[in-house]
Amino acid sequence: MMKTPSICSPLFALLVIFSCSWAVSSDGYDDFIQCMSLQSNNDSSISNVVYTPNNTSYSSILNFSIQNLRFTSETTPKPLLIVTPVQESQIQPIIYCAKENGMQIRVRSGGHDYEGLSYASEVPFVILDLFNLREISVDADNKTAWVQSGSTIGELYYRISETSQTLGFPAGVCPTVGVGGHFSGGGYGALLRKYGLAADNIIDARLVDVNGRILDRKSMREDLFWAIRGGGGASFGVILAWKIQLVDVPEQVTVFTINKTLDQNATNIVHRWQYIAHKFNEDLFIGVYIRRVNSKLFFEEEAEEAEMILSPYGGRMEEISDSAIPFPHRAGNLYKIQHLVYWEQEEIEASDKYINWIRKLYSYMAPYVSRFPRAAYINYRDLDIGVNNKGNTSYAQANIWGIKYFKNNFNRLVHVKTKVDPANFFQNEQSIPSLYSWWNKNGK
Residue 184 interacts with ligand FDA (CB under 6 A): yes or no: yes
Min CB(376)–ligand FDA separation in Å: 12
Q: Pick from 51, 188, 313, 410 the residue near ligand FDA by CB under 6 A.
A: 188
For residues 234 and 265, what is the distance between their CA atoms, to the nearest angstrom?
42
Residue 180 interacts with ligand FDA (CB under 6 A): yes or no: yes
CA distances for 326 relative to 338, 341, 398, angstroms: 20, 28, 15
The type of residue at 119 is Y
Q: Pick from 108, 292, 329, 407 the residue near ligand FDA by CB under 6 A.
A: 108
DSSP secondary structure letter of residue 14: -
- β-partners of residue 259 are 289
For residues 419 and 434, what is the distance between their CA atoms, to the nearest angstrom?
8
Active site residue 380: yes
Helix (H) or strand (E) holding 355: helix 348-364
Q: How many CB atoms lie within 10 A of CB 165?
A: 10
Min CB(30)–ligand FDA separation in Å: 25
Site for ligand FDA in 367-396 (CB under 6 A): 379
Query: Residue 109: how many CA atoms within 13 Å on its side-chain side?
Result: 29
For residues 197 and 153, what is the distance between their CA atoms, to the nearest angstrom?
13
Site for ligand FDA in 119-148 (CB under 6 A): 130
For residues 125 and 65, what is the distance between their CA atoms, to the nearest angstrom?
18
Site for ligand FDA in 323-352 (CB under 6 A): none
Min CB(141)–ligand FDA separation in Å: 27
Site for ligand FDA in 19-78 (CB under 6 A): 67
Our CB check for ligand FDA shows the closer of 3 and 271 to be: 3
For residues 22 and 75, what is the distance between their CA atoms, to the nearest angstrom?
9
Which range in 16-24, 86-94, 158-166, 183-191 contacts ligand FDA by CB under 6 A? 183-191
68 contacts 7 by C-beta, under 8 angstroms: no
φ/ψ (deg, to 5) at 106:
-110, 120
Which range in 22-30, 173-181, 251-259, 279-287 contacts ligand FDA by CB under 6 A? 173-181
For ligand FDA (CB under 6 A), the number of binding residues is: 35
Residue 82 interacts with ligand FDA (CB under 6 A): yes or no: no
Binding mask 216-245 for ligand FDA (x = CB under 6 A): -----------------xx---xx------
Surface-to-core class of residue 339, CB atoms within 10 Å of its CB (0-12 exposed, 13-18 middle, 19+ buried): middle
In angstroms, how far apart are the furthest CA atoms of the chain? 67
Our CB check for ligand FDA shows the closer of 108 and 292 to be: 108
Q: How many whole angstroms from its chain centre is CA 274? A: 26
Q: Pick from 5, 85, 187, 326 the residue near ligand FDA by CB under 6 A.
A: 187
Give the binding site for ligand FDA (CB under 6 A).
7-8, 67, 106-114, 117-118, 130, 149, 172-174, 177-178, 180-182, 184-189, 233-234, 238-239, 379
Q: Which residues are catalytic?
A: 380
